[in-house]
Chains A and B, each alone.
Chain A
Amino acid sequence: MTVRTAILSDYAITPLAFGSEENLSAYLEGRSCLRRHVGTFGIQDPFYASLFDREQVEAEAVKAGIPENYSFFEKVAILAAGRAIEASGTDPASPRTAFIISSTKGNIERLDNCPGEAPLDVPAARIASFFGNPSTPVVVSVACISGLAALIHARRLLTSSTRYDRVVVCGAEAYCGFFVSGFQCLKALSANRCRPFCADRDGLNLGEAAACMVLGRSDDTQLAPWEIVCGAVRNDANHISGPSRTGEGSYNCLRAVLPHCEERPAFVSVHGTGTAYNDEMESVALSRAGLLDVPVCAMKSVFGHTMGAAGILESILSIKSLDKGLVLPTPGFTGGGVSYPVDASPVPRLADGNSFIKLLSGFGGCNAAALFRKGGAR
């Protein structure tokens, strides 16, 4: 019997809302926390970003009993994981529960005063031990695909052995001057709200988030209709900070995932960062995979680029929207910006189908795709 990977619960925290459903509602209402920042993190050049209200998060952390000396990153991750764990009825202290954390820079805000806390395994250990988990958590850090790579790793962990019954996968990113200076010096940030796949797109927006899914083994699919059917990660072997012009790795991921589709996916939840190179590359990959007629949604003009959280956050929102029979809009989409026109829309559309593909790409030439399916009726 094939072991299936069930999504037992999820919880997303963004500057827009606390909770997965709450984020979906805010999204559909057309809201966003992307705004112009001047002087934030001590950065003089203005930038557009979706950032947490620090005071609100701190207050929630106190309510949740998180020690004050924990980093901001650790606090948002614990807040998201705590709610998801609770909703799934998982015992986080069991040796049969594994923790996987995804992030690109974790505690980087501590680099100035406490560089010993910067390595990613340090916050991961603190997050897992907050919940009393006895095992060493694994950190999956693969640039922008981290969150999806972590979900794929979690699925493999559940199907390769019977060591674990539950896997808590939590992705988070919290910013500081380090990120903004870095992306500004790469000239990758837009001075306005980002415009994925549009002709006048000129860069990405940074976005903070924490998002968590609790996964279980096949028996649980009776309780939870959504499953991660399969996933693949492929490298472009082309350039460390630019995607392949032929969409090589992204296409190879899709090629690995597509044979597992039982139907045309309802949509592809694309990366759509709003940078010139990424969006063009994705259009090439989708074209090569024969998916140009499948609707796409890009969420970064709502949440910004949430880096290590993106794969989990955007998968959660995709699930929630398909539960309502909708393809999420790509706010501000006017099109005309890529060689192979993608089927995005500035307004919500009715979805046709019970599955979707999540697609991401990142620095280091990495790409990931995963197929999610609602299997309740099967």
Chain B
Amino acid sequence: MKLLGISRITPGLATVNDIQREVVPDGKGFLHSLYTSLKPDYPKFFKMDLHCKLGFLATELLLEGTEGRFEPREDRAVVAFTHNGCLQNDLEFNAGCKAENYFPSPALFVYTLPNIVTGEICIRNRYKGDSSCFVLPNPDREKIQECLECVFQDPVTTSALCTWVDYKSEEDYEAYAFLIENK
């Protein structure tokens, strides 16, 4: 397996292969500013929960400017790793269910699954290959490698776009996206 590139987002910092990506503050918070800087022109972003937003932005950072990017393909797997998953969104949905006026929001409920981020990335990039979501206590290198060895057992899969996303709060989150080739 060969690592082709890696991006990372933490509060106030975005990097691609350890080089800082310039983010012009737009006054609407760091993630919004990053979105504005990347200019994906992708209104669906604003519907996403924070787990998906982070996964989306990390993969956008990594793939920005890639040649032939939106050609439909089946040979690239999308693999999400996470600990908290969509917990923040679960709490928000749950609060609606417990509220005095009982309001379970369908817009929130569809994001209460940790694998939705893979769907969002597949839709954006037109990837029709394998897609998976593994929940681990931490981004354990050995475990992630073990999972990816399994992903590459599918003869169609030649590369994997992976994310590690863990959102705890506005001040505490981390997202990685990395592209692995099976060589």
Chain A residues engaging chain B, CB cutoff 8 angstroms: 104-105, 108, 111-112, 115, 118-122, 124-125, 136, 138-143, 149, 153, 156-157, 159-161, 163, 177-178, 181-186, 232-241, 248-249, 252, 256, 363-366
Residues from chain B with a CB closer than 8 A to the CB of A140 are: 132-134
Would you give the shortest CB distance from B48 to chain A, in whole angstroms?
A: 9
Bound together, the chains give a CA A119 to CA B135 distance in angstroms of: 8
Cβ B150 vs Cβ A156 within 8 A: yes
Interface flag for B3 (CB, 8 Å): no
Residues from chain A with a CB closer than 8 A to the CB of B98 are: 112
Cβ B78 vs Cβ A136 within 8 A: no
Cβ A115 vs Cβ B91 within 8 A: yes
1/0 contact trace for B150-164 toward A, CB 8 Å?
111110100000000
Interface flag for B100 (CB, 8 Å): no
Chain B residues engaging chain A, CB cutoff 8 angstroms: 72, 74, 78, 83-85, 87, 90-91, 93-94, 97-98, 104-106, 109-110, 112-120, 122-123, 125-137, 140, 143, 146-147, 149-154, 156
Q: How many A-B residue pairs have CB under 8 A?
A: 166
Would you give the shortest CB distance from B106 to chain A, in whole angstroms?
A: 5
Residues from chain B with a CB closer than 8 A to the CB of A156 are: 149-151, 153-154
Contact of A235 among B87, B127, B149, B152 (CB under 8 A): B127
Q: Is the interface of A mostly helix, strand, loop or mixed?
A: mixed
Question: Known contacts A185-B105, A237-B122, A365-B119: does B132 contact A136 (CB below 8 Å)?
Answer: no
Cβ B131 vs Cβ A235 within 8 A: yes
Residues from chain B with a CB closer than 8 A to the CB of A363 are: 110, 113, 115-116, 119
Cβ B135 vs Cβ A364 within 8 A: no
Instruction: Give the residue name and chain of the B residue nearest to A363 (CB).
Output: B113
Instruction: Give the residue name and chain of the A residue nearest to B156 (CB).
Output: A256
Bound together, the chains give a CA A139 to CA B153 distance in angstroms of: 19
Would you give the shortest CB distance from B8 to chain A, in whole angstroms?
A: 21
Cβ B90 vs Cβ A111 within 8 A: yes
Question: Known contacts A125-B137, A185-B109, A233-B131: does B87 contact A160 (CB below 8 Å)?
Answer: no
Residues from chain A with a CB closer than 8 A to the CB of B151 are: 156
Residues from chain B with a CB closer than 8 A to the CB of A185 are: 104-106, 109
Contact of B97 among A115, A124, A178, A238 (CB under 8 A): A178
